[in-house]
Structure 1
Amino acid sequence: MSTTQLHATFTRRQILAACSICMAAPLLACTQPHGLVKISRHTWPGYMLLDLARDHGWLPEDQFRLINLGSAKGTLRALASNSIDVACLTLDEVLTARANGLELVIIGLINFSRGADVVIARKPLTIEQLTGKTIGFESGAVGQVMLHQLLQAAHLTTQNVKLASVTADEHESRFTQGEFDALITYEPIASNILQQPQFQRIYSSRQCPDLIADVFASTSDAIEHHGPQLTRMLNAHYRAQQLIRLAHPHSIKQLASHLAVNPEELQTILAGLDLVDRKQALDWLTPKTSRTEETIRQLMQILQLNNKNMPKVEHMITAQFLEVQQ
């Protein structure tokens, strides 16, 4: 598979191929059967567990429809208009949307980034030598979080470095051509670059655990009208997740096929993710027994979100759809 194909497949934090949006548009425009739950997910390992669940018959097509809207922006627009019911998003994307007035509720936890988001530099540059250097990064919530954590670890501010905005499809080409001294990127782009011996990893999301998380976010309307289906969706997701955690050979091949990579490439990508199970999700969605509230406060500070526009954490998350086994 070419590098270009990989970039097009995994740009979950930017607009994906225009064709996916065009294909999804008719699905949103037509009249849906009563009770059909519409779920938006990008092409990302944690999100595509839903496709694996559908393969196993756990998400019947007369009850669930999986849609790829191609970008977080398009997904949030569809949520705001109630064109979809549930979306796979990063935690920071949900918080930013809530700060902008979109009342989303987190109903499930998908994964944490444990090295899938990385900072790469040309050897021998290290994190201690970033002063005055140019850092390329993708503008947006996750890029902003990684930049903040990187500079904090290097004891620097944005005044000490030069910043260059670069879209994910240009990460590898512009960085390897020498436009930046360091690059904030993510898998599988990172692995492609690191195959070249002149580059090295100098920081990763493994050093800031819990901050970069992917979640299921739902509209209040879906919560009110589709409770049983939301429970079934989450049950199906965590059943598929268990197959991958157990390295079930056929399921690994199926998920790799959905992601357009081979099983070996998938294993490399999964090494940078913590695919959480039902119990971990239940703990995370119970603020009094977890670090969730602290994580959300930290992200709001990093993203400079206005506390006055945000409800209490217990109003933004719920474990009610995880507490019923089917």
Structure 2
Amino acid sequence: MKKRKFRQGLFTAFFIFLLTLLNGCSSSKDPLVVATHIWPGYTFMYLADQLGWVDTAQISFQNTYSASESLELIKEGKVEAATLTFDEVIRARSEGIELTVVAILDISAGADQVISRTRLSQLSDIKGKRIGVEISALGAVVLSHLLDQAGLTKDDITVVDITIDDQETAWLDGKIDCVITYEPVARKLIMAGGYKVFDSRSMPEIILDVLAVKTATLHKREQITHLIDAHFKALRHFDVQREDALYRMAPRLGMEPDLIPFLFEGLLLPNRSNNQRLMVGSPSKVERVGNKIIEVMAQSGLLNAPVNTDNLVDSRFVSP
């Protein structure tokens, strides 16, 4: 009797293991569901799709309005990957959402700017000023570098928390003396008499937009590789067939084709070899940047918990 129960238990355990194995194999063949919102550096996946280079059997896009919405869909288990800034990946990890960076989509090289109401003879002249900044990871990183370059600390300025959509109004109302911002607000403030006194060219390869995948979904290697290959192929098309690319990207970006190049001012678009340069190594350049961002975010009180950096970057998908 005991022997028969033991055999039944053994058979049941084996059957459950077999079902789990089969389910795992099946899920690895399902499309990778990717959340993405509108941003110039994310548009090449859309361009690749327009050109027929994305296999819908392997990739399914979920359009969102913001990175916050994309992260919410990841939390709910409705998507498995998203286009995000690197600091957003780190914040997600602090909240227990394990994401892994599999590609660098763009790098801010002047896109993030500090606009001053008055001319400054030197950067340290921001001492005593009211600095408008959106208190986010990205804002904290730019502010930290600004103060370092100026030789100042937070105690030397007044930080005014202002989201991007309220910055122009705050500027026109005279509530701030300087503001950490980006396009299209930066251009509007300069046209209103502001002066650019600092930008992300002074902090190279720090502000990154990335493709991040749930760490538990990295087994979908074929789908991830397919998407990244399509991205690089579209990036190449943008270089050699610019007019065609701009025409195809216009509906997504909601702009006339001839205005789209302005959106890419201050952005670097790393190809496969540059991705490898940034992501390969132990620690890689991206991992070192991640540690710096974690330090800044921790000092600014933007992390809910310590960040696990295991599997933060996976360079396999950008390798030849």
TM-score range, shorter chain: 0.7 to 0.9
Contact 1:82 1:219 in 2 (8 A): no
Separation in structure 2 between the aligned mates of residue 140 and residue 307 of structure 1, nearest angstrom: 16
| Paired residues for 1:1-326 under 5 Å | 35-125=30-120, 127-196=123-192, 198-224=193-219, 226-246=220-240, 248-288=242-282, 290-304=284-298, 309-312=307-310, 315-323=311-319
Q: CA deviation at 1:108?
A: 0.8
Encode CA deviations 1:52-110: one digit per residue, 9 max, x unaligned.
11100111334322223323232222223321011011111111222222111111111
Against the structure 1 CA distance between its residues 289 and 310, is the aligned structure 2 distance closer, same or farther, given a 3 Å change threshold? closer
1:60 partner amino acid: D
How big is each residue's C-alpha offset from its partner over 1:100-149, in whole Å with a ceiling of 9 and x where there is no partner? 22111111111110001100011224522111111111121111111111
SS of 1:202 mapped into structure 2? strand
Q: Does structure 1 retain, via aligned residues, the 8 Å contact 2:279–2:285?
A: no
Which runs of 5 or more structure 1 residues have no equivalent in the other structure?
A: 1-31
Q: Which has the larger radius of gyration?
A: 2
Is the helix fraction higher in 1 or 2? Answer: 2
SS at 1:70's partner residue?
A: coil
> How many residues matched?
288
Q: Give 1:24's aligned residue.
A: none
The percent of aligned pairs where both chains have the same amino acid is: 28
The one-letter code sitting in structure 1 at the alignment partner of 2:232 is Y
Contact 1:117–1:204 (Cα < 8 Å) also in 2: yes
Please give the TM-score of this superposition, normalised by the length of structure 1. 0.82
Q: Which runs of 5+ in 2 are unaligned?
A: 1-26
Q: Could you say what secondary structure the match of 2:268 adopts? A: strand
CA RMSD after TM alignment? 2.1
Question: In 2, are the aligned partners of 1:41 and 1:48 still within 8 Å (CA)?
Answer: no
